[in-house]
A and B are shown apart, each in its own frame.
Chain A
């Protein structure tokens, strides 16, 4: 069995590939739970559910690939780039800069963010 890197954006995490091969019963149970707890819109709309997943995965330091996948899904559900950025910024005070940076890095890749380059050299007066 070939296991794709978790750094790909195919939205198929390694655990899913391994369980499909080695323990499909557990994979089916996980998929059933995930579908029931957020996959099917109930009171929460799909966009908010995806924002929740982004916050949870960022705080839990989930893989960048899975974060990017949820950001793309959030955008397909109507979330703007700015709304996702603001969701990440909410975490600065409670979680600290490193957690925020983890999410921001994934966001920058998804939205093809362009960095503003300074005119002056580093350490210049």
Chain B
């Protein structure tokens, strides 16, 4: 059984390497650290590690992926912030979100657009689960 310090150390390292820890991560760290550790290598390998795609492109792709999944707005907003941190412009991210319209429809597009607006206008997200 992991100690509280071991849980906190792992969560802190997660935040340092990924730039965030959503509620899911914070709960798993506290209640099932083994499962959290088992899940982590997949996003580390496919997202965090530098391979052929650059980090900015990966974050832009993740924005539309999470939007299509109807993920909570705070998750979409997190990846918008990460894309900006990796050098994407607000306009570039907006254009990526607009690509959603034809294939994913207006409902999904609007949720991503609202997330983008919250990030670029610095207004707090209404759903603060994250």
What residues make up the interface of A, taking CB atoms closer than 8 Å to B? 30, 33-34, 37-38, 42-44, 48-49, 51-53, 55-57, 59-60, 62, 80, 82-83, 86-87, 89-95
Contacts and interface: CB of A to CB of B under 8 A. Distances in A.
A55 B79 CA distance: 15
A86 B101 contact: no
A93 B46 contact: yes
B3 to A, nearest CB: 27
A60 B96 CA distance: 16
A86 B68 contact: no
A75 to B, nearest CB: 13
B: contact size bracket: 20 to 34
A65 B9 CA distance: 47
A59 B69 CA distance: 7
A92 B46 CA distance: 8
Nearest to A66: B103
Interface of B: 39, 42-43, 45-47, 51-53, 57-58, 60-62, 64-66, 68-69, 71, 89, 91-92, 95-96, 98-104
Interface residues of B, dominant DSSP = helix
A34 B102 CA distance: 6
8 contacts: A56-B104, A57-B103, A59-B64, A59-B68, A86-B46, A90-B65, A91-B65, A93-B43
Contacts of A53: 99, 103
A24 to B, nearest CB: 17
A37 B96 CA distance: 9
B64 A56 contact: yes
A49 B99 contact: yes
Q: Which 6 A-B pairs have the closest CB atoms?
A: A59-B68, A93-B43, A89-B46, A38-B99, A43-B92, A37-B98
A95 B95 contact: no
A56 B104 CA distance: 7
